[in-house]
């Protein structure tokens, strides 16, 4: 199966985001590299706004992800509530 | 096949022989000795003899390699554009059929570089 | 009197519709083909520009907001780095040479990308891709500016940073990235998008930025980490644009498939050849390494690229043809490249060195099938000779590939002991190539590549000496004249790291930072 991934800078802003992704994607694998965290997942990876807001204790706009995003791989399906990476095969 | 273009597209090549001040380019590679990272480009007069190429031009270029002094030139195999080829040592590059931007290589049987690594 | 009505906040999709699509209009005074003269000649058929999907649905107002935030973060770090003499915290001053290569090799391409996306954005009749290209054009300008600011910081302390703009046009190894981008920017708008937006951004930039920038952080270079990751934060959007372009073009007309496939084959190869420099940065130039070039290739190309091309197979797209050749090269690329710079260190604006014994052990472990067999003997011989005061300098100019402009240093696929030679005749002249792929690219558009400004040939034509130089004068030293023309100072900017001014300065400054002297 094809792997999708998303990578963020390692900092205080991304810590709750990464925690939320890990919880919402039990099949995801977290790879820590110097200054960055790369999360791989088979087939599909979901980032949920509500899970991030729960940790942050404030409203979160998913477009804020861009600020600390390093890279990603997969087709993107985005709306206000979730950001999904997926390979269609 | 030509370039897809909005109007006619044709240009003079940048490397015509007449741009090289009376010289022509000859490329030379020594097989199995990749310590010299790539073949060399030489601008040479077409009247130069092949012997001068081997005896005057090449030694300062390749002489650093311990194998160079051990070459038995009578046994060397020559290639032009990858095909076996026999140079006439006392004829000019021109008479040897070497045109602008031709590439020749030589293989030195028995010599395969530093510790046989083709370096 | 009007009643104030609470405005309903627009959803992401509606907002995108209003702020992007609704800004477009159909012209009535002028003909479409006069306004958009470049959309047809490449043979790509587009029937409905409204089918364009922008998955991020980013609008200009949100764009400015997030970009401003990125800039604030970036410059806070850059300032702190400069204020705190952060450059003295890098592992070892050899490391700075990777930054020299990056900032002189890649940064000018950011500027070219800015121009390229502005140009193609203007050329597309659809508002979706036009806005996306506009944003990318602004991003690229931002990357270029932040990198120039980074250059200015390093330039206060180290050699090899003082003339990046001129070097981009003149220096032999920088003609490789320059000619790559010049090739893209002189193509039509669709080819440019496939070349840069897809093949480079989507398929290859992870290899350029991710392991290298993470490597910068690992080596204590907060400055490079900051501008590198800040640039990379725009990259996800660029990659998405690149992928969207491919899908959009392929969905529009079945006739587009062979054209797009040829571009993917061409540009994956062209981009990969440029990354030769990155391969040697990762394996030889970073004092502390996060992963080998080969490992990075396996993760970011074979694994991720594999997934990508499997996904695109539903459109009929297959893996780029060159993948097979690259599979053979991954054990050899970095070694062959660093050996080349060791050969020609006299003509570079950065320093070279022989890997230490520890580093050679690391290379043996990472490259069990190639390093000890083919490359270690070279390094050991050179080390032995250098210790005797007989350092190897290659002073004869190499033969170059007509397409990628790299010296012909690459070996036959499957035989690392034989240089790969390919040639073709065109209008009575011979042209030479490093590979089947570079040859095929030439043969498809020979008129384009006969114009190539090959540094070696230009030097021999006498075009690379300072004005007034007489190459026929007694005792003329071509290397010296070429370096003057480059504005590279012999004995200071070039040659070995050992014995360099950079090495001495770094040692002295670091000593000052840790002791009272």
Residue C265: count of CB within 10 angstroms of its CB: 20
Give the gap in angstroms from C-alpha B62 to the nearest C-alpha of chain C.
Answer: 9
Is C435's pLDDT higher than 70? yes
How much is the pLDDT for C12?
Answer: 81
Is C90's pLDDT higher than 60? yes
Among C381, C147, C95, which Cα is nearest to B64's? C381
- Here the CATH number for the domain that contains residue B112 is 3.10.20.560
Fold of C49-514: Ribonucleotide Reductase, subunit A (1.10.620)
- Contact residues, chain C, for B4 at CB < 8 Å: 41-43, 188
* Chain B interface disruption, residue of C172, C179, C342, C378, most B CBs within 10 A: C378
Cα separation, C128 vs C16, whole angstroms? 9
Residue A89 · residue A78 · CB < 8 Å = no
Cα separation, B98 vs B57, whole angstroms? 16
For chain C, domain boundaries: 49-514
Residue A15: count of CB within 10 angstroms of its CB: 13
Is C1's pLDDT higher than 60? no
How much is the pLDDT for B1?
Answer: 53
Among C313, C300, C324, C266, which Cα is nearest to C444's? C266
Give every residue of chain B whose pLDDT is below 50, as ranges. none
Average pLDDT, chain C: 94
Nearest-5° Cα angle at A12, A6 to A13: 55
Residue C234 · residue C93 · CB < 8 Å = no
Of chain A, the percentage scoring pLDDT greater than 70 comes to 99
Give the residue, C475 or B16, on which the prediction is more confident: B16
The beta-carbon neighbor of C235 closest among A4, A63, A71 is A71
- Contact residues, chain A, for C9 at CB < 8 Å: none
Residue whose pair of structure tokens reads 């090739």 in the numeric block: C183
Of chain A, the percentage scoring pLDDT greater than 90 comes to 90
DSSP C47-61: S-GGG---TT---HH
Q: Strands C422-426 and C429-433, how do they pair?
A: antiparallel
Residues of chain B numbered 82-101 and touching chain C (CB < 8 Å): 82, 99-101
Cα separation, C100 vs C171, whole angstroms? 13
Mention every residue, 6+ apart, whose C-beta is less than 8 A from residue C113.
Answer: C136, C137, C140, C143, C181, C196
Cα separation, C423 vs C159, whole angstroms? 39
Quickly count helices (H) and strands (E) in chain C: 24, 4
How much is the pLDDT for C207?
Answer: 87
Instruction: Tell me the β-bridge partners of A69.
Output: A8
Residues of chain C numbered 199-228 and touching chain A (CB < 8 Å): 206, 209-211, 213-215, 217-218, 225
Cα separation, B68 vs B58, whole angstroms? 10
Cα separation, C517 vs C508, whole angstroms? 10
- Contact residues, chain B, for C343 at CB < 8 Å: 36-37
In a domain, B58, yes or no: yes
Nearest-5° Cα angle at C504, C350 to C216: 50
How much is the pLDDT for C181?
Answer: 98
Q: Report the complex ipTM.
A: 0.98
Token readout for C308 is 């990508």
Q: pLDDT band at C2, cuts 50/70/90? A: low
How much is the pLDDT for C56?
Answer: 82
Q: pLDDT band at C155, cuts 50/70/90? A: very high
In a domain, B32, yes or no: yes
Mention every residue, 6+ apart, whose C-beta is less than 8 A from residue C54.
Answer: C16, C20, C128, C131, C132, C241, C244
Residue C284 · residue C355 · CB < 8 Å = yes
The beta-carbon neighbor of B14 closest among C336, C400, C450 is C450
Is C5's pLDDT higher than 80? no
Is C8's pLDDT higher than 80? no
Give the residue, C10 or B107, on which the prediction is more confident: B107
Of chain C, the percentage scoring pLDDT greater than 90 comes to 85
Q: pLDDT band at C252, cuts 50/70/90? A: very high
In a domain, B10, yes or no: no
Structurally, chain B folds into a number of domains equal to 1
Cα separation, C407 vs C167, whole angstroms? 18
Structurally, chain A folds into a number of domains equal to 1
In a domain, B56, yes or no: yes
**Across A38-55, average pLDDT:** 97
* Main-chain dihedrals φ then ψ at residue A49, nearest 5 degrees: -60, -45
Token readout for C311 is 């996904």
Residue B80 · residue C341 · CB < 8 Å = no
Give the gap in angstroms from C-alpha C290 to the nearest C-alpha of chain B.
Answer: 27
Among C312, C250, C286, C244, which Cα is nearest to C52's? C244
Instruction: Tell me the β-bridge partners of A7.
Output: A38, A71
Rg (CA), chain C: 24
Write down how long chain B is. 119
Q: pLDDT band at C11, cuts 50/70/90? A: confident
Is C224's pLDDT higher than 60? yes
Note the pLDDT tens digit of each residue in C356-392.
999 999 999 999 999 999 999 999 999 999 999 999 9
Cα separation, B76 vs B32, whole angstroms? 13
How much is the pLDDT for C3?
Answer: 60
How much is the pLDDT for B3?
Answer: 83
Cα separation, C200 vs C271, whole angstroms? 6
Residue C268 · residue C260 · CB < 8 Å = no
Among C79, C100, C95, C72, which Cα is nearest to C221's? C95
Is C10's pLDDT higher than 90? no
**Across C283-306, average pLDDT:** 94
**Across A30-35, average pLDDT:** 92
Q: pLDDT band at C13, cuts 50/70/90? A: confident
Is C514's pLDDT higher than 90? no
Is C4's pLDDT higher than 70? no
DSSP C94-154: GGHHHHHHHHHHTHHHHHHHHHHHHHHHHH-S-HHHHHHHHHHHHHHHHHHHHHHHHHHHH
């Amino acid at each position: 199966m094809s792997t999708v991934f998303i990578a963020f800078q390692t900092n205080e802003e991304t810590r709750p985001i990464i925690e939320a992704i890990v919880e919402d994607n039990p099949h995801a694998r977290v790879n820590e590299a110097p200054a960055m965290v790369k999360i791989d997942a088979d087939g599909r990876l979901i980032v949920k706004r509500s899970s991030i807001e729960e940790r942050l204790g404030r409203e979160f706009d998913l477009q804020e992800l861009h600020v600390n995003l390093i890279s990603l791989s997969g087709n993107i399906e985005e709306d206000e509530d979730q950001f999904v990476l997926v390979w269609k095969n | 096949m030509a370039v897809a273009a909005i109007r006619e597209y044709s240009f003079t090549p940048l490397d015509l022989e007449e741009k090289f001040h009376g010289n022509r380019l000859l490329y030379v590679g020594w097989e199995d000795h990749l310590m010299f990272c790539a073949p060399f480009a030489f601008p040479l007069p077409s009247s130069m003899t092949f012997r001068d190429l081997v005896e005057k031009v090449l030694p300062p270029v390749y002489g650093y390699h311990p194998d160079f002094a051990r070459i038995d030139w009578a046994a060397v195999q020559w290639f032009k554009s990858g095909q076996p080829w026999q140079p006439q040592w006392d004829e000019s590059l021109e008479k040897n059929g070497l045109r602008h931007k031709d590439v020749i290589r030589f293989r030195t049987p028995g010599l395969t570089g530093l510790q046989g690594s083709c370096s | 009197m009007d009643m104030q009505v609470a405005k309903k906040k627009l959803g992401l999709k509606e907002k995108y519709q209003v702020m992007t699509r609704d800004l477009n209009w159909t012209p009535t005074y002028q003909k479409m083909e006069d306004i958009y003269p470049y959309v047809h000649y490449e043979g790509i058929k587009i029937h409905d520009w409204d089918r364009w999907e922008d998955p991020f649905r980013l609008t200009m107002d949100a764009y400015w907001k997030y970009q401003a935030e990125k800039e604030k973060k970036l410059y806070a770090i850059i300032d702190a780095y400069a204020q705190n003499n952060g450059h003295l915290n890098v592992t070892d001053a050899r490391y700075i040479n990777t930054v020299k290569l990056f900032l002189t090799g890649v940064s000018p391409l950011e500027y070219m990308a800015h121009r390229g996306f502005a140009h193609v954005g203007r050329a597309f009749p659809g508002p979706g891709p036009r806005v996306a290209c506009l944003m990318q054009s602004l991003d690229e300008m931002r990357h270029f500016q932040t990198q120039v600011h980074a250059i200015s910081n390093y330039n206060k302390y180290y050699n090899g940073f003082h003339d990046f703009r001129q070097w981009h046009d003149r220096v032999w190894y920088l003609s490789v990235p320059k000619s790559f981008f010049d090739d893209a920017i002189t193509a039509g708008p669709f080819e440019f998008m496939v070349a840069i937006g897809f093949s480079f951004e989507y398929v290859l930039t992870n290899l350029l930025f991710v392991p290298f920038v993470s490597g910068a952080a690992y080596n204590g270079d907060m400055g490079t980490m900051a501008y590198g990751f800040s640039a990379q934060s725009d990259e996800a959007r660029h990659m998405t644009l690149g992928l969207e372009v491919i899908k959009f073009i392929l969905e529009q007309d079945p006739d587009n498939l062979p054209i797009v496939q040829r571009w993917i084959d061409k540009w994956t190869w062209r981009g990969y050849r440029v990354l030769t420099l990155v391969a040697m940065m990762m394996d030889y130039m970073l004092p502390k390494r996060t992963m080998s070039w080969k490992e990075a290739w396996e993760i970011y190309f074979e694994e991720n690229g594999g997934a990508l091309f499997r996904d695109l197979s539903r459109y009929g797209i297959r893996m780029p043809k060159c993948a097979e050749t690259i599979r053979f090269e991954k054990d050899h690329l970095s070694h062959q490249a660093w050996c080349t710079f060791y050969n020609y260190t006299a003509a570079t604006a950065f320093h070279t060195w022989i890997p230490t014994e520890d580093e050679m052990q690391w290379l043996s472990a990472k490259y069990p099938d190639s390093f000890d067999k083919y490359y270690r003997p070279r390094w050991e011989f050179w080390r032995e000779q250098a210790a005797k005061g007989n350092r190897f300098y290659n002073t004869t100019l190499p033969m170059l590939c007509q397409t990628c402009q790299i010296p012909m240093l690459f070996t036959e696929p499957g035989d690392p002991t034989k240089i790969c030679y390919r040639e073709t005749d065109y209008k009575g002249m011979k042209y030479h190539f490093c590979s089947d792929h570079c040859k095929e690219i030439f043969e498809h558009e020979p008129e384009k590549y006969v114009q190539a400004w090959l540094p070696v040939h230009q030097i021999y034509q006498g075009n690379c000496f300072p004005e007034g130089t007489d190459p026929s004068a007694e005792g003329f030293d071509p290397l010296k004249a070429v370096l003057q023309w480059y504005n590279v100072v012999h004995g200071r900017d070039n040659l070995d790291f050992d014995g360099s001014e950079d090495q001495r300065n770094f040692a002295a400054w670091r000593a000052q930072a840790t002791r009272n002297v």
